[in-house]
A and B are shown apart, each in its own frame.
Chain A
């Protein structure tokens, strides 16, 4: 029983990280039809920025971590907005060029981080509470997983409220459906693009800082490695569906965690988690090509 609870919570924790990075990716695609292969760099930025700030602060936790967290969110928003304005905006509707530029940016940024901070993972100065465990139904759950779940849940609620109750949220929801008509109502869709990109950058940077707690370190390649699963999540959830991304992130995180454990214990197969996620993607695409909560086209 305790093993199931442990897998359940750690799976949800992994799903929380996937959701944080996939939510921005999903909104970006839904509104702008941009598949941003450089989205993972916002996660890397978040991890490294929070580490860089934390190791320089003269005071201890929890304030050190909280200030570092806030700082990384600001950096994530600025980097994301800069990417949108500098690289994506000149290439709207030029999908091949977008793919080339964003893939190139991801590769170049990873190399830049490796060149600046070294290619190896760097130990993260995690607050002591996050390194402890909490007993849940007999299972010792790492607090970093509980924190990731709680933060992702708050982000989900905040972004849902933003989309549902604010004028900008209304613009984003309408823009996902018909960008040209939003502009024809006199609304500057371009500003909504930048806002959504910045929000995506914030959520991914948050995933970077929480991922540093989750894994205990920061890694130059974590952004690109996690991005693959974030893409799978948004395709399973339905491209452009924010709620679909949340649902799919939970499903993928749980599946990955359970398969990794049970396939390893019973069949000695250690990579079953990743394989099962790819198989799930294939099944969903065959059964429901628009994804779990996506709208069918045509």
Chain B
């Protein structure tokens, strides 16, 4: 994937804290996401990756500063934040199972001209399954719907949480290919446990460890250093 030329900071998170019950999940997380391309958010299970995504969207209570294109988000409600141009592909897909594929997509429309051409170009299968209840789709097809909802609008950034989780190897390849297309349309902040996918898609990486940022830099540098990869991700880099 080509390296983006833009170096403008799109998303800036500063001293982000999240408490869930008695647990202090995020303990002063700070990072920046450059405009363009894919930035991976990595870390072991429980490091706080999904909580970070939810905190950006205002889906969990948080303190600290979150700015998108220099606009402060921390006092906005979730729908106000999303309307600034944020797409969200949740970890558990969270398609509306009792609605049809077409209804799921219609619900996600925010722009006056939703990009159905792009969506059906990336996922031709969805066009054939428009009338099918989303709950009756396979996991991979549901993931298509979840990504399609984010692709439908002209977003500044798409927050993608573990898009390949639970998918077959064939579907992982399809999802990665779709995300590459998505990255051409918007900046991606990608939470991904599959390091091969992260390596293929992302240029920059932010590593979380126990609710703190442990590493920021290039994906290639992190994964090329087995000691670093083992320390932060629990795996060898190669």
Query: Which A positions have Cβ atoms within 8 angstroms of B?
Result: 167, 170-171, 173-174, 177-178, 180-190
CA distance A185 to B94 in the complex (A): 11
Chain B: number of interface residues, binned into ranges: 20 to 34
Within B62-106, the residues touching A (CB, 8 Å) are: 77-79, 82-83, 88, 90, 94, 96-99, 103, 106
With A178-B94, A181-B90, A184-B57: A171-B107 Cβ-Cβ less than 8 Å:
yes
Task: Contact check, B96 vs A188: say whether CB atoms are below 8 A apart.
Answer: no
Query: Which B positions have Cβ atoms within 8 angstroms of A?
Result: 57, 59, 77-79, 82-83, 88, 90, 94, 96-99, 103, 106-108, 110, 149, 153
Task: Contact check, A177 vs B97: say whether CB atoms are below 8 A apart.
Answer: yes
With A170-B103, A171-B107, A180-B59: A185-B82 Cβ-Cβ less than 8 Å:
yes
User: Which residues from chain A contact B110 at a C-beta distance below 8 Å?
Assistant: 185-186
Partner of B96, one of A178, A183, A186, A190: A178
CA distance A186 to B88 in the complex (A): 10
B110 (CB) vs chain A CBs: closest residue: A186
Task: Contact check, A188 vs B98: say whether CB atoms are below 8 A apart.
Answer: no
CA distance A167 to B106 in the complex (A): 8
Task: Contact check, B98 vs A173: say whether CB atoms are below 8 A apart.
Answer: yes
A181 (CB) vs chain B CBs: closest residue: B94
User: Which residues from chain A contact B106 at a C-beta distance below 8 Å?
Assistant: 167, 170
CA distance A167 to B105 in the complex (A): 12
A295 (CB) vs chain B CBs: closest residue: B98
Name the distance in Å between B163's Cβ and chain A's nearest Cβ: 15
Task: Contact check, B96 vs A189: say whether CB atoms are below 8 A apart.
Answer: no
Q: List 29 A-B contacts (CB under 8 A).
A: A170-B99, A173-B96, A173-B98, A174-B99, A174-B107, A177-B99, A178-B94, A178-B96, A180-B59, A180-B78, A181-B90, A182-B107, A183-B77, A183-B79, A184-B57, A184-B78, A184-B82, A184-B88, A184-B90, A185-B82, A185-B88, A185-B107, A185-B108, A186-B82, A186-B110, A186-B153, A187-B107, A188-B77, A188-B79
CA distance A173 to B134 in the complex (A): 13
Having A177-B99, A188-B77, one finds 4 other A-B pairs with CB under 8 Å, namely: A174-B103, A177-B96, A180-B59, A183-B59
CA distance A245 to B98 in the complex (A): 18
CA distance A177 to B108 in the complex (A): 15
User: Which residues from chain B contact A185 at a C-beta distance below 8 Å?
Assistant: 79, 82, 88, 107-108, 110, 149
